[in-house]
Amino acid sequence: MNELVVAGTFLGVLFFLLASGVWIGISLLVVGFVALAVFTPAPAGSLLATTVWDASWNWALTALPLFIWMGEILFRTRLSEDMFKGLAPWLGWLPGRLLHVNVLGCAVMAAVSGSSSVTCATIGRMSMPELKKRNYDEGMSIGTLAGSGTLGLLIPPSIMMIVYGITAQVSIGRLFIAGVLPGLMLIGLFMTYVAIWAVLNPTKVPANDLRMSFAEKMWASRRLIPVILLIVTVLGSIYGGVATPTEAAVMGVIGALALAVATRTLNWHTFRESLEGAVKTSCMIGLILAGAAFVTMAMGFTGLPRILAGWVQELGLDTYGLILLLTLLYIALGCFLDGVSMIVLTAPVVLPMVEAHHIDLLWFGIYIVLVVEMAQITPPVGFNLFVLQGLTGKNLWTVTVASLPFFLLMIVGIILIVIWPEIVTMLPRYMIMQQ
């Protein structure tokens, strides 16, 4: 069998279907069926049925729709308004002032939504009008929101971590723990950049107009208590070993509903909208995962992953060379595919290469989430760019240019976890030692 013919047919059918507007999940199923029917004697129909079934009843998958629903509920509450009013009084002394609200607000929202686009939209619809009213630099306002919005993929609970964990058979709970320090690292990089920019551009940052006493700041911070309690409940139960990610997701949904009731934003219309949004997103991701499982199995029959892994091995790349190659690959894919598709499409080929180079799959999971974060702000398919375009009314080019410094900061983040992998692995190892 000519591996070039197999690879060419595989890619040709896939790109033809995607260019035709066929759903990604359906495209994957068709590609897998064609690969089995044309290049192997295996029974494609029966393998399709069994593989899709096996991919659909995975218990770890149950956490996915619950975390998505939690984010959809919170998206429809006054959470962003409360966070702005609770965080703003404490940040006036920092260089950059209220621009840091975008960073920290997105970090808090990321810890309860698990979604990049939800994080970006929720914080942006509150902070952008406030920053514009106070005459903050629009480019930096957009950039901080674009970059910080991607934290929804890295700070647990992350939908992308659940997808990777299911795909690579890595503990989702350990992935959540591993994402904490890299998430804090990115927050630190973003806030440091904003502070340096503010010092270099003092005329673009208005004077502090939120002078409040300590007691007044504490009173304003009461608005943060509900969301902090929700974060502690969801993540604390996972880190403490009290609950599985699925059980924590159930508690998160209950907490989100309670918050919606407390803010008087829960009614039949918003409840139905949140449920419909969660069902649509969950079904889309579930179909992609099922299609990816079938493609993975089909490619195993054709031997293509082994051939490609052997080809990369012949290049003589060391671990750093492989990481560089994969980073360039994912940046290129991010211009055309969403994060879920990037992970599930490349997993059958990439994971064998990673294992052959003895790279920790837990570390690689955080690395790939970081690279997928970068894809959220790369044109023409960066979802956060579209969200911000809708919020600000600016063209895509303006939003992209404003986001560029934060794209580069994410590259710095990748370099840091490559040089010091303990940033990812230290906390999970410590948690295991304590158990």
Predicted pLDDT at 408:
92
- The mean pLDDT of 11-33, rounded to a whole number, is 79
Q: In the prediction, which pLDDT does 60 show?
A: 66
Place of tokens 């079938």: 294
pLDDT score of 103 more than 60: yes
The better pLDDT of the pair 241, 27 is held by 27
Q: What is the mean pLDDT of the chain?
A: 81
pLDDT band (50, 70, 90) for residue 127: confident
Q: Is the peptide bond prior to 156 cis by the omega test (within 30 degrees of 0)?
A: no
Share of the chain above pLDDT 90, in %: 11
Q: Is the pLDDT of residue 337 over 80?
A: no
Q: Over pLDDT 70: what percentage of the chain? A: 91
- Most confident listed range (103-112, 124-133, 298-307, 318-327): 318-327
**Averaged pLDDT, 68-81:** 77
Q: Are 9 and 34 in contact (CB under 8 A)?
A: yes
CA atoms within 13 A on the CB side of 97: 21
Calpha distance 83→101 (Å, rounded): 8
Residue 84's pLDDT band, with cuts at 50, 70 and 90, is confident
Q: Summarize the confidence of residues 313-331 as an average pLDDT.
A: 83
Q: What is the DSSP secondary structure assignment for residue 205, as one 8-state letter?
A: S
- Residue 263, classed as helix, strand or coil, is coil
Residue 61: pLDDT over 80: no
Q: How confident is the model at residue 6 (pLDDT cuts 50, 70, 90)?
A: low
Residue 191: pLDDT band with limits 50, 70, 90: very high
* pLDDT at residue 365 in the model: 92
Write down the pLDDT at residue 66: 85
The number of helices, as runs of H, and strands, as runs of E, in the chain is: 23, 0
Q: What confidence tens digit (pLDDT) does each residue in 139-188 have?
A: 888 888 888 888 877 787 788 888 888 888 888 888 988 988 999 999 99
**Cα torsion through 190, 108, 376, 94, rounded to 10:** -20
Q: Please give the pLDDT value at position 421.
A: 93
Distance CA 50, CA 72 (A): 32
If phi over 0 gives left and psi between -120 and 50 gives alpha, with beta otherwise, what is residue 421?
alpha
Q: How confident is the model at residue 414 (pLDDT cuts 50, 70, 90)?
A: very high
Check whether 1 has a pLDDT greater than 60. Answer: no
Closest CA to 47 of 351, 287, 293: 293
pLDDT at 124: 80
- Residue 178 Rama label (left phi>0; alpha psi -120 to 50; beta): alpha
Token pair for 239: 């880190």
Mean pLDDT, residues 338-354: 79
Look at 99-108, 329-338, 379-388, 392-401 and tell me which has the smallest mean pLDDT: 379-388
Of residues 258 and 433, more confidently modeled: 258
User: pLDDT tier at 80 (50, 70, 90 boundaries)?
Assistant: low
**How is residue 393 annotated by DSSP?**
-
Q: Does position 21 have pLDDT exceeding 60, yes or no?
A: yes
Closest C-alpha to 234, from 2, 395, 42, 74: 74
What is the CA 132 to chain-centroid distance, rounded?
27
Average pLDDT over residues 12-39: 80
Q: Are 206 and 97 in contact (CB under 8 A)?
A: yes
